[in-house]
Structure 1
Amino acid sequence: MGAGVTPARRRLYSPLPPCSTPARMNRLIDRMPAGARGPAWMILSCFAFATMWGLIRLASRDLSPFVLVFYRNAFGLLALTPMLLRNPGLMVTSRLPVHVRRATSGIIATYCTFYAVSNAPMAVALAINYSAPLFATVGAVLFLGEKIHGRRIGAVLVGFAGVLVVLRPGSMPMTPGIAAAMISAVTTAFSLVAIKQLVGSDDSRSVTVWSFVLMLPVSAAVALFWWKWPAPETWPLLVAIGICAAVGQLSMSRAFQLSEATAVMPYDFVRFGLVTLIGITMFDERLDAFTLIGGALVIGSTIYLAYREAVVARSLRPASQVADRAL
């Protein structure tokens, strides 16, 4: 396990089975030095999520984003089924209300993200989406009673300043796609707060699976209002969207399982670069300096918030765990 994993986290989690991600990639990463595994999983999640965004834009030419969310959940859950069969106790939980709360905010965030990707410049939508941890920090203070001090307040303010740089109020029109990206960031923050409550007791794989299970019937009902059968050439895109969603979420969970957030968060810049490249090369989007600068401010502030959270967590860690880490 990576250097950032405490004994309690070692007991809580077990390695992902080979069927949950491509077996060859799973074996390749497991052969890497311990300190490189967390970043490698994070980079894999970046490729999965960036690919998914490109596929969403392509599939939205045929189907409504509200229908795409249903297929994302259906094929994503299908991709997770082998893992469920290998781990029959994975769905056992005593915290179903928290899972429901996470899924409720998660499905709103997913709808808004899919709509934003379909109707706004992808790099802009992603830069706004990166502000979710900033809203989550505020939510943790308001709903979980966490205390926030000067440095973290400063990081939050810098992050929100980055959002303003991206949006350039008065210069960039507030289109429905941009508005959806903003709502996605806020609702994603509520999901992050719920996940923070869950990962202390539930396996991260369970948290991922429950989100797909709870979101599937709701997305099926909503999809009926925009229902249209996909064209034959759209089906492979839909299957790939579901697989990318499942692989991306599991890979990111694995990254945070193996390493502290401060060790893997900087690698999320890869996702920003990939999404920007996809937008430019596939959809003729322009490279916007304001988006790059604002996105860098937002991402930098979230990395610093992760660093401060790790510092605080280490200062509160029992002496016995500190001693164990030193061995």
Structure 2
Amino acid sequence: MQDWLRRLGPNVQGALWLVAGGFIFTSTSAMIRLLSTQIESVQTAFFRAVISLILLLPVIAAGRVKPWESKRIAGHFWRTTMGTVSMVLGFYAVSLLPLADATAIAFSQPLFSVVVAALIAGEKVRWRRWSATIVGFAGVLVMVQPGQGSLQLGALVAVANAATVAVSILLVKRLSGTETPLMILTQFAIFSTLLLALPAIWVWRWPDLFGWMLAVGVALTATVGQYFWVQAFKAGEMSAVAPFEYLRLPFAVFVGWLIWSEVPGIWTYVGAAIVIASALYIAQREAQLARERRRAAVAAGEGVKPPESPAP
């Protein structure tokens, strides 16, 4: 299987990894929603953290990662805090909304990343990306329909989840300059377990056997899905691979219909199309700017004055 995969082009490999990961993440969301009938979202997130930590114990015991040797413990703590908040919000949104709606609103994360990059990271964002971001947020409003009396708690939670994910991604990028992915993953498992322990105990309910199976399934599929996601962008170019992320929406529509007989309204599709188009444009612009920066760096290294890049 691996030999066959290697014979394919890098972007095809990345697309296949991402499509498979998208289906796995959809399965994770479905199990979270099923489990929400037995326990609270905080407890589900705690199970996910604890089981992930248990899965990482052999790696820690073998010395492949030594979390106590990290010199950026404070950075890991704040990254985990934001990541844990986003995880709980994401689990809660899935428990409140139809699966397709929660998935569609989650696609607004790249829009929040632009805002976070400008306001927190101090990145220079020019009119084209700002315009795409504004259009994308209009798509979010189309989905949640605040003026129609249908704005639900679940929609607000889903939007808040997308915003906190954007902040968490920024913190991961800052850590990745000196920390390995395995170190970041391990620190997240440790700190999220500690952060969620007391809240989980506060709302604790014992699930039945099926609930325990779902809890283990959530942790396993989330871990495998994350691995597939990393492999996708490792294999192919981001601009070529990223569009396949949005196949999660038809997966979510199918699974929601199969299990709960859910059929999304027309405005979910319209708003999702606007958000996806805006996010793809932003991704394309970021890829173009990255290529221009690489060309400028090469030109500077050769002693050639690079041409001025067009304004994004």
TM-score if structure 1 supplies the norm length?
A: 0.84
> What is aligned with 2:20?
44
Distance 1:287 1:137, change over 3 A: same
Residue 199 of structure 2 corresponds to residue 222 of structure 1:
yes
Structure 2 portions without partners, runs of 5+: 303-312
8 Å contact 1:103–1:214 — kept in the other structure? yes
Q: Deviations over 1:158-201 (max 9, x none)?
A: 11011011011122523222221121111111111112222333
User: Equivalents in 2 of 1:93, 1:259: separation in Å?
Assistant: 30
User: Equivalents in 1 of 2:35, 2:166: separation in Å?
Assistant: 27
User: Equivalents in 1 of 2:265, 2:259: separation in Å?
Assistant: 16
Q: Deviations over 1:97-155 (max 9, x none)?
A: 22222211111111111111111122112221111121111111111111011211111
User: Equivalents in 1 of 2:11, 2:58: separation in Å?
Assistant: 28
> What is aligned with 1:88?
64
Matches within 5 A, 1:150-165: 150-165=127-142
> What is aligned with 1:100?
77
- Percent identical residues: 32
> What is aligned with 2:216?
239
User: Equivalents in 1 of 2:63, 2:238: separation in Å?
Assistant: 26
Distance 1:238 1:224, change over 3 A: same
Residue 293 of structure 2 corresponds to residue 301 of structure 1:
no
> What is aligned with 1:319?
298
Matches within 5 A, 1:1-327: 29-30=5-6, 32-84=8-60, 88-89=64-65, 91=67, 93-317=70-294, 318-319=297-298
8 Å contact 2:80–2:188 — kept in the other structure? yes
8 Å contact 1:62–1:234 — kept in the other structure? yes
User: Equivalents in 1 of 2:240, 2:60: separation in Å?
Assistant: 29
Structure 1 portions without partners, runs of 5+: 1-23
8 Å contact 1:280–1:287 — kept in the other structure? no
User: Equivalents in 1 of 2:77, 2:190: separation in Å?
Assistant: 10
Q: Deviations over 1:65-106 (max 9, x none)?
A: 111111111222333445555661364543332222221111
Distance 1:157 1:305, change over 3 A: same
Matched residues, number = 299
**Partner SS for 1:146:** coil
User: Equivalents in 2 of 1:100, 1:152: separation in Å?
Assistant: 31
Shift of 1:241: 0.2
Tell me which moved more, 172-181 or 43-52.
172-181
Shift of 1:156: 0.5
Q: Deviations over 1:32-81 (max 9, x none)?
A: 43332222221222112100000011111111111111111122233344
8 Å contact 1:47–1:271 — kept in the other structure? yes
Shift of 1:259: 2.5
Tell me which moved more, 167-176 or 68-77.
167-176
User: Equivalents in 2 of 1:198, 1:257: separation in Å?
Assistant: 18
Shift of 1:31: 5.4
Query: Over the residues paired in the alignment, what is the CA RMSD in angstroms?
Result: 2.3
Q: Which has the larger radius of gyration?
A: 2
8 Å contact 1:108–1:187 — kept in the other structure? yes
8 Å contact 1:156–1:301 — kept in the other structure? yes
8 Å contact 2:65–2:183 — kept in the other structure? no
**Partner SS for 2:147:** coil
